[in-house]
């Protein structure tokens, strides 16, 4: 069933269609929210809020993008706004100045690449981090990211380029291996 | 979105080298905040509960209407309480001086008490449903607080009534009193967290589901009219 038909059934009040729409997209929404927020419990709240908003606004969906991309836009908005309101995003940002410092440590001193990568990604500015997580971690295309974030695809590419550069610098000792 | 996305300098001036991260770095990146299995059923239940609450208030430009309707319906409860406590004409004409214990004992009309309690619980359920739905948007704290105060007064009258003998109903009224007291204290400039805390307290105690269990469908004046 295509998006248009499913949406039509939801708008007509078919509860099974609501469930179908939810089942078709919930995993992707939850994954993205979890990746961005870093907190599965909050991601659960954000996922619920995403679908509540989506069902509320479904009549406004014009089909200019795929339903999944539209949901992705709501997910990012809900998650980032949620993080902002909790002031957690600011706490998580270690600061750009600190990110290169992380990379100057020796491998022996901090051998856990996963931990170092997590810290380095957390240290990225929010815009860079969002694009990097969406593209390199979750596999969204630049076009999807651009639609979701309301920017040009070129901006998404530039953000990704800069994010990767910062991560390479932060993890230079690992990159050489 | 934040400044880093809207900064015009970030727009790619031309083709940027699109070099993927080295495989080891990319593999580590894909472990970043790896999500667990989504709690699909729990989330679906929460979404459906919220949707039901939204349908109950039918948001529109005159968002004060449901609140006003709930507050106005309280008058009906007040009338019920008034009737419950109205002096009996027979005892009104009885001699003032009486030494018998029966003259001092309050008359208890259990059927009227039960009806009034059900009406009050129904109003409270409607009010808490509206309040719960408004938690995310806020902006109606003053009216919510005023309505909660009126419900609280009725709640206390019912709790103090000599007819309040049913233990289960008493416990429900006592728990309801705590929730209403919290909402009554809500300041006009309450933060979203304040409202969310009350909502969490309601959810933890299962207040709405207990009220819905207690109140037969169609009891409340506002049900189906909002």
Which of 117-176 (A) contact B at CB < 8 A?
Answer: 117-118, 121, 125-128, 130-133, 136-137, 149-152, 154-155, 157-159, 161-162, 164, 167-168, 171, 174-175
Check the CA dihedral A136-A140-A144-A145 and report its sign.
Answer: negative
For residue range B144-191, what is the model confidence (pLDDT) as tens digits?
888 888 888 888 888 888 888 888 888 888 888 878 877 877 776 666
Domain with A35 in it: what CATH number?
1.10.1740.10
Distance CA A124, CA A104 (A): 17
Q: Which of A21, A18, A29, A26 is nearest to A3 (CA)?
A: A21
Together in a domain, A19 and A44: yes
Together in a domain, A44 and A81: yes
Distance CA B202, CA B196 (A): 10
Together in a domain, A19 and A83: yes
The owner of tokens 């980032």 is A80
Q: Do B18 and A31 touch (CB under 8 A)?
A: no
**Does A111 lie at the interface with B, CB-CB under 8 angstroms?**
no
Together in a domain, A64 and A122: no
Q: How many domains does chain A have?
A: 2
Q: Do B33 and A37 touch (CB under 8 A)?
A: yes
Together in a domain, A77 and A10: yes
Together in a domain, A38 and A105: no
Domain with A160 in it: what CATH number?
1.10.10.10
Distance CA A57, CA A19 (A): 16
How many interchain CB pairs under 8 A, A with B?
133
For residue range B43-88, what is the model confidence (pLDDT) as tens digits?
999 999 888 877 765 544 444 445 555 555 565 555 555 555 555 4
B96 vs B177, higher pLDDT? B177
A64 vs A57, higher pLDDT? A57
pTM of the model: 0.53
Together in a domain, A102 and A60: no
Question: What average pLDDT does the structure give for chain A?
Answer: 84
Together in a domain, A140 and A105: yes
Q: Do B33 and A34 touch (CB under 8 A)?
A: yes
Together in a domain, A83 and A99: no
Together in a domain, A7 and A80: yes
Q: Do B46 and A48 touch (CB under 8 A)?
A: yes
Which of A56, A88, A120 marks a domain boundary? A88
Write down the pLDDT at residue B8. Answer: 40
Binned at pLDDT 50, 70 and 90, residue A101 comes out as: very low
Asked whether residue A32 carries a pLDDT value surpassing 90, the answer given is yes
Asked whether residue A43 carries a pLDDT value surpassing 80, the answer given is yes
Which of A34, A53, A88 marks a domain boundary? A88
Together in a domain, A99 and A53: no
Together in a domain, A79 and A120: no
State how far the alpha carbon of B59 is from the alpha carbons of A58, B99, B134, in Å.
15, 60, 10
- Best of B3, B43, B54 to disrupt the A interface by mutation (most A CBs within 10 Å)? B43
Binned at pLDDT 50, 70 and 90, residue A89 comes out as: very low
Which of A58, A88, A118 marks a domain boundary? A88
List the domains of chain B with CATH numbers.
62-89+110-226 (1.20.1420)
- Please give the residue range of the domain that contains residue A21: 3-88
Q: Which token pair is B136?
A: 């995310």
């Amino acid at each position: 069933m295509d998006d248009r038909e499913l949406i039509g059934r939801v708008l007509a009040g078919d509860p099974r269609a609501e469930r179908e729409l939810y089942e078709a997209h919930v995993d992707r929404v939850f994954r993205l929210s979890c990746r961005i927020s870093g907190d599965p419990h909050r991601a659960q709240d954000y996922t619920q809020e995403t679908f509540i908003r989506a069902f509320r606004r479904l009549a406004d969906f014009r089909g200019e993008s795929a339903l999944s991309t539209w949901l992705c836009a709501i997910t990012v908005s809900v998650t980032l706004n949620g993080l902002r309101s909790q002031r957690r995003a600011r706490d998580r940002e270690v600061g750009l100045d600190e990110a290169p410092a992380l990379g100057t440590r020796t491998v022996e001193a901090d051998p856990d690449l996963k931990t170092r990568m997590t810290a380095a990604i957390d240290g990225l500015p929010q815009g860079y981090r969002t694009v990097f997580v969406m593209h390199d971690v979750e596999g969204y295309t630049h076009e999807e990211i651009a639609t979701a974030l309301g920017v040009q695809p070129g901006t998404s590419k530039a953000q990704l380029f800069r994010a990767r550069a910062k991560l390479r610098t932060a993890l230079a000792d690992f990159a050489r291996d | 979105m934040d400044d880093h996305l809207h900064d015009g300098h970030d727009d790619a001036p031309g083709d940027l080298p699109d070099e993927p991260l080295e495989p080891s770095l990319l593999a580590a990146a894909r472990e970043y905040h790896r999500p667990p299995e989504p709690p699909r059923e729990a989330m679906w239940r929460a979404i459906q509960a919220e949707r039901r609450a939204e349908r109950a208030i039918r948001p529109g430009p005159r968002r004060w209407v449901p609140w006003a309707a709930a507050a106005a319906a309280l008058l009906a409860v007040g009338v019920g309480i008034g009737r419950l406590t109205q002096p009996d004409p027979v005892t009104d004409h009885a001699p003032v001086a009486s030494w018998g214990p029966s003259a001092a004992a309050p008359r208890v009309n259990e059927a009227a008490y039960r009806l009034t309690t059900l009406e009050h619980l129904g109003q409270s359920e409607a009010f808490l449903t509206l309040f719960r739905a408004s938690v995310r948007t806020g902006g109606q704290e003053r009216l919510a607080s005023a309505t909660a105060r009126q419900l609280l007064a009725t709640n206390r009258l019912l709790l103090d009534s000599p007819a309040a003998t049913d233990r289960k109903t008493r416990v429900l009224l006592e728990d309801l009193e705590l929730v209403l007291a919290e909402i009554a204290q809500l300041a006009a400039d309450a933060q979203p967290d304040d409202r969310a805390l009350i909502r969490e307290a309601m959810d933890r105690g299962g207040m709405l589901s207990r009220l819905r269990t207690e109140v037969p469908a169609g009891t409340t004046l506002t049900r189906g009219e909002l």
